Amino acid sequence: MKPIISKDIIRGHTTTIVLNILSQGDSYGYEIAKMIKKLSHESYELNEATLYTVFRRLEKNGDIESYWGDESQGGRRKYYKITSQGTETLENNVKEWNFAKHVIDDLILGRIN
């Protein structure tokens, strides 16, 4: 059985995850959910309700913008794209993550002399 990462560990990082994916190109909800599953080697799935909550928050904050696609077949898709502010948010979040990762490693794995 493949290990699954706890939602508690991911909570607080969904914004950064979505911004990372959108920094690589515009996309829509279902495709982003598939990319999250793929990037996590199928160890994490972000449910649609959570994903759309993230979209609303990012859009309200000015980190992403949405627009309707012009598909000729099937239903129209709402696409999301990262803004310049979103790129700055992503860069800051990655810096904070890298700092936190080192601190947490020290706290969990470190030894007191």
CATH number at residue 43: 1.10.10.10
Beta pairing partners, 80: 27, 66
Q: From CA 82, how far away is CA 73, in angstroms rounded? A: 25
Residues 26 and 80 sit within 8 Å (Cβ to Cβ): yes
- Structurally, the chain folds into a number of domains equal to 1
Question: Which pair of tokens denotes residue 96?
Answer: 């904070």
Whether 2 shows a pLDDT value over 90: the answer reads no
Q: Is residue 50 part of a domain?
A: yes
Where in the sequence is the domain holding 76, given as residue range(s)?
A: 7-109
pLDDT of residue 12: 87
Mean pLDDT of 66-92: 92
Tell me what pLDDT residue 83 has.
Answer: 98
pLDDT at 35: 97
pLDDT digits (tens, 9 = 90+) for 87-105: 999 999 999 999 999 999 9
Task: Specify the pLDDT at position 41.
Answer: 93
> Is residue 47 in some structural domain?
yes
SS3 string of the chain? CCCCCCHHHHCCCHHHHHHHHHCCCCEEHHHHHHHHHHHCCCCCCCCHHHHHHHHHHHHHHCCEEEEECCCCCCCCCEEEEECHHHHHHHHHHHHHHHHHHHHHHHHHHCCCC
Q: What pLDDT band is residue 75 in, cutting at 50, 70 and 90?
A: confident
pLDDT at 13: 93
Residue 67 lies in a domain: yes
Place 109 in a pLDDT band, splitting at 50, 70 and 90.
very high
